[in-house]
Amino acid sequence: MMKYPLFETENCLLTEIDYEKDLETDSLFTQDLRYARYWCKGIVKPLSKNEMKKTYEKLEKKADESRNKFHFAVRSKVDSQLIGYARFDWVFWNDQCGEIKVAIGHPEYLGKVEQELIEKLTYYGFHELNLHRIDCYISQFEEELDLSLKKVGYLREAIFREAEFFNNKYWDRYVYGILRPSWSQKLEA
Amino acid sequence: MIEKQDILTGEKVRLVPIDAERDSILFSLWHRNSEYSRLLDSDPARQFSSIATKKWIEENELAHDFVSFGIQSIEDGTILGDIGLGDFSGQFTNTFVGLGIGDPQYWGKGYGSDAMRIILRYAFEILNFHRVSLTVFEYNTRAIRSYEKCGFQHEGRLREFLSREGRRWDLLFMGITRYEWQDAFQKMENA
């Protein structure tokens, strides 16, 4: 009956946070400020192991209390090492809408696993969370996500012009969305 | 030298600090009107006690990632709504503006547009933002017209975002950049 595993893609596993192993790896990943952006709510900066621990704890507490956040540490299927994360950042239950985030910190996997992770989160959103629409906000410079979202069937619905400043330049912020009917059509095809 | 200028005063309203004691009662009262709540928020319309509202206001006083004001009528001093900028933690590039005119007798009379022009001036001239954004439900046509009048550009719509009254509605995205605001402001000055 449940024919598709929810927490597994072709190359990745979607798992819980491992406080023993992930702190050091994720802290190292944030040395790349492009990845740090996915963890820092305020000032973008590399996070120490202790700051990372506090960030995990805050995230898990919020997810537990609000029940509208679903976070997965993404690992390689080959050796279980941490790659990044995949997350429903929020869900509006009354409107059946949710927003996904995919963050790749491991340089070898950047540009290689985004599409399968977006596909899996989208599947999870429509078939487990029972949503009507799913959003994804990305920056203009995140070309790998831009391409992957289009391939999965998301439409670019809005452009916040010059809404972000990074690397000495203003960038547009794109909002992508997919509705349940178009996802179902894609599955049938 | 800086010219003395009352940045926070417009033609019909001025923006004043929110007073926890006074405004918590007003905010609770405004939310008794479900139409107001449904124009303002995608959360289910509900009631807030003035005590809970006062606590929330007090907890958020001196916050560093948003700023909010009461909208006060210049004519008679009534607090008729509130307006604020948020979501700018860490960077002063983009901010979202939220605006609510709580007392329906002030709807459609230009008070909101006046408050919006003031907060745009504050966002660009004092806080040095690069752009200001907002979201609005497609059924809030009065607000959309007001935002267009203030210089906001349409930047897209999230299809079927909201579910209310048995149908789905789009969420509209609008924004104004510093350059667009400067153009609009100069035109106003020259008019």
Place of tokens 């330049």: A169
In a domain, A29, yes or no: yes
In a domain, A133, yes or no: yes
Closest by alpha carbon to A118, among A69, A157, A81, A154?
A154
In a domain, A4, yes or no: no
Closest by alpha carbon to A26, among A15, A12, A36, A16?
A36
Q: What is the span of the domain harbouring residue A57?
A: 12-188
CATH number at residue A82: 3.40.630.30
Element (DSSP H or E) covering residue A157? strand A155-166
Residue B173 and residue B42: Cα distance in Å, rounded?
14
* Domains of chain A: total: 1
In a domain, A146, yes or no: yes
User: Hey, are the CB atoms on B155 and A95 less than 8 Å from each other?
Assistant: no
How would residue A2 be classed by pLDDT, with cut points 50, 70 and 90?
low
Contacts of A171 in chain B (CB under 8 A): none
pLDDT tens sequence for chain B (191 residues) = 566 578 999 999 999 999 999 999 999 999 999 999 999 999 999 999 999 999 999 999 988 889 999 999 999 999 999 999 998 877 899 999 999 999 999 999 999 999 999 999 999 999 999 999 999 999 999 999 999 999 999 999 999 999 999 999 999 999 999 999 998 877 776 77
In a domain, A3, yes or no: no
Does the predicted interface ipTM exceed a cut of 0.95? no
In a domain, A131, yes or no: yes
In a domain, A7, yes or no: no
Q: Which of A132, A162, A174 to mutate to test the interface with B (most CBs of B within 10 A)?
A: A162
Q: How does DSSP assign chain B, residue by residue?
A: -PPP--TTB-SSEEEEE--HHHHHHHHHHHTTSHHHHHHH-SSPP----HHHHHHHHHHHTT-SSEEEEEEEETTT--EEEEEEEE--TT-SSEEEEEEEE-SGGGTTTTHHHHHHHHHHHIIIIIS--SEEEEEEETT-HHHHHHHHHTTPEEEEEEEEEEEETTEEEEEEEEEEEHHHHHHHHHHHHH-
Taking one residue from A and the other from B, the number of pairs with CB-CB distance under 8 angstroms is 78
User: Hey, are the CB atoms on A133 and B161 less than 8 Å from each other?
Assistant: yes
In a domain, A107, yes or no: yes
Task: Write down all domains in chain B, each with its CATH number in brackets.
Answer: 13-190 (3.40.630.30)
